[in-house]
Structure 1
């Protein structure tokens, strides 16, 4: 039986999340997020000087980078 993570159920509802909010959720540390943004490995929405990540992009990123457990 394969177990999968349903990020849609786990993540709070919202459209955009700040780097701090994602760090506070315990998903990705802010330093790592900044590195991903700098290297253009994750899509961001820029509002003024702040970067935000949409819920759908965050879910896609987490799914793409989740490795299945070995059987």
Structure 2
């Protein structure tokens, strides 16, 4: 059974790094590392870095290993 991230991730368009960490998806230090390595797409508004809900779900699904 695969995890349904659509139900787990709040229904918002953009999340900042702190919000992603608060929902328990990915630690802030790991998000920053993923961003610097170009593994997760960001939206930059002014000086603030955001990740879209779609991108967060895509990343989580791509990196989820099924128990098979």
TM-score, length-normalised on structure 2? 0.96
Q: Deviations over 1:1-47 (max 9, x none)?
A: xx111100111100000000000011100000000001111000001
Higher relative contact order, structure no. (Cα contacts within 8 Å, ≥ 6 residues apart)? 2
4+ runs deviating over 2 angstroms: none
Task: Determine the structure 2 residue equivalent to 1:39.
Answer: 37
Provide the alpha-carbon RMSD of the alignment. Answer: 0.7
- Partner of 2:44, secondary structure, is strand
If you compute each CA radius of gyration, which structure gives the higher value, 1 or 2? 1
Gaps of 5+ in 2: none
Gaps of 5+ in 1: none
TM-score, length-normalised on structure 1? 0.92
